[in-house]
Amino acid sequence: MRSRIFFIGIWTLALWFYGCGSDDVTLDRKLSGDDQFWTELRVTRTGPLDYDWKAVVIGKVHPKWTDILIRKTSEEICALHGPGELTVSWMDPRHVEVICTKCRTADFFPQSSTWEGVSIKFAFNGKPVPDTFIR
């Protein structure tokens, strides 16, 4: 009887730890006006004790074979690890805007202001992010 209870306890603990692993999910995908680029809002679930990682990724719809060889088909342009929300909007086919609302400065990581001819602008709690803040 004791070994059965022990086995059930270990099994339950293993399932709990398995459920707390990271899990990547795409929340939103948008195409540019000319259907050449896409953006995705992705979240990596880190478990019940920490904030999830949210990221915006930009990529090419039809990358050239050379882009595939040098791994230039997509790139993460910003991340958020803390409270708040990220939203992405295409202003026109070569301009995208990422807005971080209800965020803390230390938790928001904009990483690139351009990618493959696409201009990327960031707004943080309603104010434009200066280029000096982009890492």
Q: Which residue intervals of the chain are DSSP H helices?
A: 2-19, 65-69
Average pLDDT for the chain: 85
Q: Is 62 exposed, middle or buried (0-12, 13-18, 19+ CB in 10 A)?
A: exposed
Express each pLDDT in 37-93 by its tens digit: 999 999 998 877 788 999 999 999 999 888 888 888 999 999 999 999 999 999 999
Q: Bin 125: left if φ > 0, else alpha if -120 < ψ < 50, else beta.
A: left
Supply 106's token pair.
């230390």
Specify the pTM.
0.78
- The mean per-residue pLDDT over the stretch 13-29 comes to 66
Q: Is 63 exposed, middle or buried (0-12, 13-18, 19+ CB in 10 A)?
A: middle
Cβ 55 vs Cβ 42: under 8 Å: yes
